[in-house]
Amino acid sequence: MAAESLRCRECGEAYSLDAHYVCERCFGPLEVAYAERTISDVGEARRRIQAGPQNIWRYAEFLPIDAPPGPSLRASSRFGLPAGCTPLIKADRLAERLGLREVWVKNDAANPTHSFKDRVVSVASARARELGFDVLACASTGNLANAVAAQAAALGLESYVFIPADLEEQKILATGVYGTNLVKVKGNYDDVNRLCTELSGEKEGWAFVNVNMRPYYAEGSKTIAYEVAEQLGWETPDRVVAPIASGSLFTKIAKGFSEWLELGLCTGGLPAFNGAQAAGCNPVAAAFESGADVCRPVKPDTIAKSLAIGNPADGPYALELARKSGGAIDQVADDEIRAGIRLLAETTGIFTETAGGVTTATLAKLAERGDIGSDERVVLVITGEGLKTLDAVRGTFEAYEIEPSYDAFEAQVGVRA
User: 251 vs 347, which CB is nearer to Zn ion?
Assistant: 251
> Considering the rule CB under 5 A, would residue 26 count as an interface residue with Zn ion?
yes
User: 29 vs 112, which CB is nearer to Zn ion?
Assistant: 29
**Cβ atoms of residues 62 and 262 within 8 Å:** no
User: 13 vs 61, which CB is nearer to Zn ion?
Assistant: 13
Q: In the set 4, 10, 158, 191, which binds Zn ion (CB under 5 A)?
A: 10
User: 33 vs 155, which CB is nearer to Zn ion?
Assistant: 33
Q: By rule CB under 5 A, what string of x and - marks binding of each residue 28-67 to Zn ion?
A: x---------------------------------------
**Cβ atoms of residues 213 and 353 within 8 Å:** no
The pairing of strands 30-34 and 3-8 is: antiparallel
Smallest distance, Å, CB 317 to Zn ion?
14
Kindly tell me the burial class for residue 87, based on how many C-beta atoms sit within 10 Å of its own C-beta (0-12, 13-18, 19 or more). middle
* Closest-CA residue to 79 (of 47, 46, 112): 112
User: Which part of the chain contacts Zn ion (CB under 5 A), choosing from 16-24, 36-44, 59-67, 76-84?
Assistant: 16-24
Triad 147, 272, 214: Cα angle to 5°: 30
> Considering the rule CB under 5 A, would residue 177 count as an interface residue with Zn ion?
no
Beta-ladder partners of 243: 276
Residue 371 has a CB neighbour count (10 Å cut-off) of: 16
How many angstroms separate the CA atoms of 323 and 161, rounded? 35
> Considering the rule CB under 5 A, would residue 14 count as an interface residue with Zn ion?
no
> Considering the rule CB under 5 A, would residue 22 count as an interface residue with Zn ion?
no
3-state helix, strand, coil in the chain (%, to 5): 40, 20, 40
Count of residues interacting with Zn ion (CB under 5 A): 8
**DSSP-based three-state secondary structure for 268:** coil
> Considering the rule CB under 5 A, would residue 25 count as an interface residue with Zn ion?
yes
User: Which part of the chain contacts Zn ion (CB under 5 A), choosing from 17-25, 220-228, 253-261, 277-285?
Assistant: 17-25
Helix H or strand E encompassing 185? strand 181-185
User: 24 vs 335, which CB is nearer to Zn ion?
Assistant: 24
Smallest distance, Å, CB 31 to Zn ion?
11
Smallest distance, Å, CB 59 to Zn ion?
28
Helix H or strand E encompassing 294? none
User: Which part of the chain contacts Zn ion (CB under 5 A), choosing from 27-35, 151-159, 279-287, 362-370?
Assistant: 27-35
* Closest-CA residue to 180 (of 226, 149, 208): 149
**Cβ atoms of residues 6 and 32 within 8 Å:** yes
Q: In the set 8, 157, 213, 285, which binds Zn ion (CB under 5 A)?
A: 8
User: 15 vs 34, which CB is nearer to Zn ion?
Assistant: 15
Smallest distance, Å, CB 315 to Zn ion?
18
DSSP string, 320-348: HHHHHTT-EEEEE-HHHHHHHHHHHHHHH
User: 17 vs 149, which CB is nearer to Zn ion?
Assistant: 17
User: 69 vs 316, which CB is nearer to Zn ion?
Assistant: 316
Smallest distance, Å, CB 316 to Zn ion?
14
Beta-ladder partners of 34: 3
- Residues in touch with Zn ion (CB under 5 A): 8, 10-11, 13, 23, 25-26, 28
